Amino acid sequence: LTFPLLSVTLLVSFGSSMLYGYNLAVVNSPAMHIKAFYNATWSRRYGHGLAPGPLTLLYSLTVSIFALGGLVGSLLVGVLVEQYGRNGTLSRSTLLVLLAGGFMGFSRELGSPEMVIIGRSITGLHSGRCYGTVLSPFLRAWSRMAHFQGAGEDFIFPMATGSMVGNLRGFLGLMPSIFICLGVFFAQVLGLPELLGEDRFWPLFLSVVVIPAFLQLLLLHCFPESPRYLLIERNDISGATKALHRFLGTPGVQDVIEEMKEEQQSLSSMEMVSVWQLLRDHSVRWQTLSVVVVNAGMQLSGIDAIWFYTNTIFENAGIPVSQIPYTTVGTGAIEVVAGLIGCFTIEKVGRRPLIITGFCAMGICSAGITVSLLLQTTLPWMRYLSVACVVGIIAGFCMGPAGVPFLMTAELFTQSHRPSAYIVGGSLNWLCNFTVGFIFPFLQMSAGAFCYLVFCGVCLLVALYVYLVIPETKNKTFMEISHIFA
């Protein structure tokens, strides 16, 4: 990879995937302070505080509305990329983060819980636009990006990696998950009491997202626009040639230009399959079902509950309150290491072993949390088993389920079906994220320690499905994979 190509990849990942991970975990450590703010504001407005049920409902909405914003934002990706290109889309999306940071940063000063909720929804809108996990079925901008044959920088989007050949396909496919892990880890570190974990700092803690977004906005204009966008969308051969010179660091780019011209012609004649057509297409029904299972299972595995409510889980497990922030940071560090292990081993081990092992580990550890919570009153050392099980869930997720479903979604379909497959998988991703974030506190109150058995069942069933149905896709072309399913 050339330095400009690597730089723009890291820059975009820093401002999209990392921010996504940060926003997943940022509501964990200040949960108690935000609830206290909600309760005090309600008491000041209406003369009485919030009951535990409504307070939990309001906070759960604050946590989970991020995913609804992400769903809406991701559905706009196609039209934005087609109209403004990569740089223009990311620049406009970054402005949303600055707006969201203002809402959340001044919410306490203005005594408005509504501003926190609005800010969270706007950050979700930004993540949905930038992360590019949900794609429009009737727009072809994303499908053009997905037909990657060697031009360069578009692998920064998960979908764009799907058509890459060679040993880098799996590695690059998991790169976004590494940045998500880093974003989660940074949120956990900043949430320490010595940094931004105190009550007076929680609005600043939520609005820190403006810093990487602002840096991305400043630096993104130092790089040229996507060559594929310039040539295929704008028919700007001169601009595409200059961009390729810059990204690839070589004067001989005519072969790549000709390749993109051929792609432009093939895509103009290619008929894209809509979501409805995909769901009715019996020739790919097992591939479609597989996308549904692995993408829904990824979010229903319980990982979102861990990220959103880590401190609450540790508190219920009996970990001393003073030790919880540091325990949480430790789990975040292990998460990054596990993600790197998955990233560097996926092309050696394969997709199936990683995702099956990951889901099995998560299922066993979810059951372990239930056992430890039931026995912690009689066996005090069980609290450490709870911590170990949380670490096991995070490590299992980051080694496989974190990134493999995105990669598999691209690898299971040919070009005409792939955008709609991402619509199905991505929509389920965001919706299940919202569901877990919203209902987990209520599930915890009603089922107690047994709530983790729900996640255990989901993980083991998904692992069984992958073992029985989904073939290994490593080093196989899309047509070879289709023939295996057939």
Q: Does 434 share its domain with 322? A: yes
Q: Does 471 share its domain with 338? A: yes
Instruction: Work out the mean pLDDT of the chain and round it to a whole number.
Output: 78
Q: Does 27 share its domain with 159? A: yes
| Residue 235 domain-assigned (yes or no) | no
* pLDDT exceeds cutoff 50 at 65: yes
| Residue 24 domain-assigned (yes or no) | yes
| Residue 265 domain-assigned (yes or no) | no
Higher pLDDT, 470 or 2: 470
Q: How far apart are CA 121 and CA 67, in angstroms?
A: 8
| Residue 366 domain-assigned (yes or no) | yes
Q: Does 174 share its domain with 308? A: no
**% of the chain exceeding 90 in pLDDT:** 19
Q: Does 279 share its domain with 218? A: no
Higher pLDDT, 409 or 152: 409
- Quote the distance between the C-alpha of residue 122 and its chain's center: 16
Model-level pTM?
0.80
Q: Does 284 share its domain with 372? A: yes
Q: Does 366 share its domain with 424? A: yes
If pLDDT is split at 50, 70 and 90, which confidence band does 458 have? very high
Rounded average pLDDT over 258-286: 76
| Residue 300 domain-assigned (yes or no) | yes
Q: Does 280 share its domain with 218? A: no
Q: Does 283 share its domain with 177? A: no
Q: Which residue has the tokens 């409510």?
A: 309
Least confident of 87-91, 278-282, 333-337: 87-91
Q: Any idea what the CATH number is for the domain that residue 298 is in?
A: 1.20.1250.20
Higher pLDDT, 217 or 44: 44
Rounded average pLDDT over 34-60: 90
Q: Does 191 share its domain with 83? A: yes
Count of domains in the chain? 2
Rounded average pLDDT over 427-449: 89
**Distance set, CA 368 to CA 168, 355, 461, 484 (Å):** 36, 20, 17, 37
Give yes or no for a contact between 271 and 416, defined as CB atoms under 8 angstroms apart.
Answer: yes
From 163, 196, 223, give the residue that closes a domain. Answer: 223
Q: Which domain holds residue 58?
A: 1-223
Q: Does 198 share its domain with 312? A: no
Q: Which residue has the tokens 């080093």?
A: 475
What is the three-state SS of 29-96?
Answer: CCHHHHHHHHHHHHHHHHCCCCCHHHHHHHHHHHHHHHHHHHHHHHHCHHHHHHHHHHHHHHHHHHHH
* pLDDT exceeds cutoff 50 at 97: yes
| Residue 427 domain-assigned (yes or no) | yes
Q: How far apart are CA 307 and CA 437, in angstroms?
A: 9
Question: Residue 312: what pLDDT?
Answer: 84
**Distance set, CA 467 to CA 326, 359, 425 (Å):** 37, 11, 19
What do you get for the CA distance between the two ends of the chain, in Å? 37
Higher pLDDT, 426 or 111: 111
If pLDDT is split at 50, 70 and 90, which confidence band does 424 have? confident
Question: Residue 174: what pLDDT?
Answer: 66
Give yes or no for a contact between 28 and 309, defined as CB atoms under 8 angstroms apart.
Answer: yes
Q: Closest Cα to residue 260, out of 294, 289, 305, 229? A: 229
From 223, 244, 262, give the residue that closes a domain. Answer: 223
Q: How far apart are CA 97 and CA 207, in angstroms?
A: 9
Least confident of 58-72, 73-87, 449-463: 73-87
From 188, 223, 258, give the residue that closes a domain. Answer: 223
Question: Residue 61: what pLDDT?
Answer: 93
Higher pLDDT, 223 or 112: 112
Run of H or E residues at 253:
none
Please list, in sequence order, all residues whose beta carbon lies within 8 angstroms of the beta carbon of residue 129, skipping any fewer than 6 positions away: 73, 74, 76, 77, 80, 89, 93, 96
Give yes or no for a contact between 64 and 131, defined as CB atoms under 8 angstroms apart.
Answer: no
Rounded average pLDDT over 53-60: 91
Q: How far apart are CA 131 and CA 143, in angstroms?
A: 15
Give the length of the chain.
486
Q: How far apart are CA 43 and CA 38, in angstroms?
A: 9
* pLDDT exceeds cutoff 60 at 150: no
Question: Residue 104: what pLDDT?
Answer: 93
Higher pLDDT, 248 or 187: 187
Q: Does 81 share its domain with 175? A: yes
| Residue 237 domain-assigned (yes or no) | no
If pLDDT is split at 50, 70 and 90, which confidence band does 138 have? very low
| Residue 261 domain-assigned (yes or no) | no
Q: How far apart are CA 485 and CA 452, in angstroms?
A: 33
Question: Residue 368: what pLDDT?
Answer: 92
